[in-house]
């Protein structure tokens, strides 16, 4: 084939649309994965219940919108409520497990995820609920009417992650979190109340998951099982991005989401997830410490 024919055969429009879609999904995934990475980095806890915190955030959003009609209020309330719930969970179930085999925290958070999922099923039933977007409105992207809202999601997620990064770098408690992540023992010796830093970090991670839930809500139906797919993707992202690396998980989120978005041009979305699995396998084979972290010397 000649160059022109090859170029004509490439579905440019679809690729650009999928790039935008990939970035939108990638930013939401990045927000979820950041919380997971923060929690893992600071206290070596793999939070199996993270997807459920995402799901509960979406449901709180549903309830707040139903009573007040305001999307933005829903976003704020959901973040705060789930952050508090996260703190409560950490204090009751994870603090007693400090110092034990890390396996026990996986089990405990797995148990929490089961309880939260079924609680949501019990309270809200199996029928999916809808969160209304805060505004409708489209712009024309090639042959599609592309909702502005989707771009807003990406922008807001980026803003939240950016604010979080600034907090870590310059905030007083941000320094505490970074110190505790690096050396829990010396942080204690410096008077930093490490148990509370852990609780705070868990709460922040939970809040970020909840915010993702509300932001993502209008794109899909809100139901009790929505956390499951995301937790899997988030785990993949955390491993591919390098466990404990915030920058790595953000990069990996966008990378994987873009690849999946491109794949959906040719296969069904259900099959496109295989892309993330393949990326994981390749990472494990060739760069097990993470694709986006420098290989340790």
Partner 1 sequence: MEPLVAVEDVHTYYGKSHILHGVSLHVDRGEVVGLLGRNGVGKSTTLKTIMGLVHPNRGKVLFAGSQVTGLPAHKLARLGIGYVPEDRRIFRLLTVMENLRTGLDRHGVSEARKQELLDKVFAYFPVLAERRNQAGGTLSGGEQQMLAIARAMMLEPKIILLDEPTEGLMPRMVSQIRQIIDVLHRDGVAILLVEQNVPLTLEASDRVYIMEKGVVRHHAAASDLKVNDAVIHQYLGV
Partner 2 sequence: MSKRSATVYWTGFSIILALLIVAPLVLPEFWRRFVTEILIWGLLAMSSDILIGYTGMVSFGHSAFFGLGMYGAAAALLMIKPPNLWLAIVYGLIGSAAVALFVAYFSTRLRDIYFAITTLIFSQIFYVVIFTWTEVTGGENGLSFRRPPLAIPGLFSVPFTSETLHWFVLAVVTASYLILRRITQSPFGMVLQSIRENEGRTRAIGYAVERYKIAAVMLSGLFAGLAGVLYAIQNRFAAPDFVYFLVSGETVIFNVMGGIGTLVGPIVGAGFFLLLREAFSRFFTEYYLIPVGVIFIAMVIFMPQGLLGFMRRWLNQ
Interface with partner 1 (CB under 8 A): 172, 175-176, 178-179, 182-183, 185-195
Q: Is 112 in the site for partner 2 (CB under 8 A)?
A: yes
Of the candidates 164, 216, 223, 210, the one whose C-alpha atom is nearest the C-alpha of residue 28 is 216
Cα dihedral across residues 215, 216, 217, 223: positive or negative: negative
Residues of span 178-217 touching partner 2 by CB under 8 A: none
Catalogue the long-range contacts made by 76-84 (C-beta closer than 8 Å, 24 or more residues apart). 78/210, 78/211, 78/213, 78/214, 79/207, 79/208, 79/210, 79/211, 79/214, 80/207, 81/210, 82/53, 82/56, 82/57, 82/206, 82/207, 82/209, 82/210, 83/203, 83/204, 83/206, 83/207, 83/210, 84/203
Indicate which single residue of 19, 70, 136, 271 sits in contact with partner 2 (rule: CB under 8 A).
271
Nearer to partner 2, 70 or 118 (CB): 118
Q: Is 29 in the site for partner 2 (CB under 8 A)?
A: no
- The distance of closest approach from Cβ of residue 63 to partner 2 in the complex, given in angstroms and rounded to an integer, is 19
- The distance of closest approach from Cβ of residue 200 to partner 2 in the complex, given in angstroms and rounded to an integer, is 22
Nearer to partner 2, 214 or 261 (CB): 261
Three-state SS string over 75-123 comes to HHHHHHHHHHHHHHHHHHHHHHHCCCCHHHHHHHHHHHHHHHHHHHHHH
Total number of residues binding partner 2 (CB under 8 A)?
Answer: 39
Report how far residue 28's alpha carbon sits from residue 254's, in angstroms, rounded to the nearest whole number: 9
Nearer to partner 1, 170 or 286 (CB): 170
- The distance of closest approach from Cβ of residue 154 to partner 2 in the complex, given in angstroms and rounded to an integer, is 26
Q: Is 97 in the site for partner 2 (CB under 8 A)?
A: yes
Residues of span 36-55 touching partner 2 by CB under 8 A: 44, 46
Of the candidates 213, 193, 255, 274, the one whose C-alpha atom is nearest the C-alpha of residue 35 is 213
Nearer to partner 2, 164 or 235 (CB): 235
For residue 170 the two structure tokens come to 């310059």
Indicate which single residue of 82, 153, 273, 293 sits in contact with partner 2 (rule: CB under 8 A).
273
270 makes contact, choosing from partner 2, partner 1, none, with CB < 5 to 8 Å by partner type, with partner 2
Nearer to partner 1, 44 or 183 (CB): 183
Nearer to partner 1, 98 or 128 (CB): 98
């Amino acid at each position: 084939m000649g160059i022109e024919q090859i170029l004509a055969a490439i579905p440019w429009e679809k690729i650009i649309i999928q790039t935008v879609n990939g970035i939108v999904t990638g930013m939401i995934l990045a927000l979820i994965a950041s919380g997971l990475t923060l929690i893992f980095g600071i206290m070596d806890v793999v939070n199996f219940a993270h997807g459920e915190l995402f799901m509960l955030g979406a449901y709180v959003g549903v309830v707040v919108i139903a009573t007040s009609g305001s999307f933005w209020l829903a976003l704020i309330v959901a973040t705060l409520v789930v952050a508090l719930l996260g703190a409560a969970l950490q204090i009751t179930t994870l603090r007693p497990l400090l110092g034990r085999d890390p396996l026990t925290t996986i089990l405990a958070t797995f148990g929490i995820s089961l309880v939260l999922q079924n609680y949501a099923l019990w309270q809200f039933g199996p029928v999916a609920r809808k969160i209304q977007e805060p505004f409708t409105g489209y712009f024309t992207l090639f042959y599609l009417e592309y909702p502005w809202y989707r771009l807003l999601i990406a922008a807001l997620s980026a803003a939240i992650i950016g604010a979080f990064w600034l907090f870590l770098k310059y905030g007083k408690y941000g320094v505490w979190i970074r110190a505790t992540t690096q050396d829990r023992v010396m942080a204690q010796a410096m008077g930093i109340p490490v148990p509370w830093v852990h609780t705070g970090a868990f709460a922040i991670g939970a809040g970020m998951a909840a915010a993702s839930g509300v932001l993502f809500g209008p794109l899909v139906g809100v139901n009790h099982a929505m956390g499951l797919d995301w937790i899997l993707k988030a785990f993949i992202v955390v491993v591919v991005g390098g466990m404990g690396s915030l920058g790595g998980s953000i990069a990996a989120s966008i990378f994987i989401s873009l690849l999946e978005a491109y794949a959906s041009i040719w296969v069904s979305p259900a099959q496109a997830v295989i892309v993330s699995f393949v990326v994981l396998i390749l990472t494990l084979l060739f760069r097990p410490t993470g694709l986006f972290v420098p290989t340790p010397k």
